[in-house]
Amino acid sequence: MRLLLMGPPGAGKGTQAAVIAERFAVPAISTGDIFRANVTQQTALGVAAQTYMDAGEYVPDEITNAMVAARLAERDCAGGFLLDGYPRTPQQVVELDSLLELTGVGLDAVVLLDADPDELVSRLLARSEEQGRADDTESVIRRRLEVYAAETGPLADSYAERDLLSRVDGLGTVDEVTERILAALTSMSSQRTATSAP
Ligand code: AMP
């Protein structure tokens, strides 16, 4: 299973990524988590990424793409993976396509987890109280939502054109949303079986 989980900040990608990846026994790869771990350890990658993250901007494509290429080359990704929060720009889509082409495999599905913008802001503000993430202040949250709408939202169309996209409502309990994602994946895979039948 090679799966992408897309969606605006606060839609619940991280939580769902962990559950869905476990269900399919593939690694959940969150570019945000990898960046945060590097910031905490103050590695060269973390130092390069931190200013962008603190401002709610995207880390430049060259840095992000190199990091993802290295991660996907690890052995545990050979049988599949779930990418959470990547790709987020057109150049990242191109990079992922070429990485997959090199290994001769394609994506199985792209799930877009969506929620109302006001709900996203209130969820992120609540998370900032619980987790104290540096980029969960109100002004940075608003900037992250803007950047998502401008740069990442439009990428969904390109995956829809390839018949890979499934939009899922991110509002509800964790279990409800998980069930919706699993149902969407099942329906996509049975549609594909139906269309590929002789
Ligand atoms: P997230 O945990 O997914 O909300 O990501 C936190 C921050 O990490 C983002 O606001 C960006 O600064 C950075 N980041 C994560 N993934 C990417 C990506 N695919 N491209 C560029 N920056 C990213």
CA distance 102 to 82: 18
pLDDT average, residue stretch 102-116: 93
Categorize the per-residue pLDDT at 154 as very low, low, confident or very high, splitting at 50, 70 and 90: very high
28-30/81-84 β-pairing = parallel
Q: 123 an active-site residue? A: no
Give the number of other Cβ atoms within 10 Å of residue 78's Cβ.
12
Q: 127 an active-site residue? A: yes
Residues with Cβ within 8 Å of residue 185, at least 6 apart in sequence = 3, 109, 111, 166
Could you tell which of 59, 82, 145 is best to mutate to test the pocket of ligand 1, judged by most ligand atoms within 8 Å of the CB?
59
Categorize the per-residue pLDDT at 197 as very low, low, confident or very high, splitting at 50, 70 and 90: low
Catalytic residue among 2, 13, 36, 180: 13
Range of the domain at 70: 2-196
Which CATH number belongs to the domain containing residue 114 in this structure?
3.40.50.300
Atom nearest to 9 CA in ligand 1: 4
Domain count for the chain: 1
pLDDT tops 90 at residue 135: no
Ligand 1 centroid – CA 119 distance (Å) = 20
At which residue do the structure tokens 């070429």 appear?
98
Structure tokens at 120: 């996203």
7/117: higher pLDDT: 7
Task: Encode pLDDT of 34-46 as tens digits.
Answer: 999 999 999 999 9
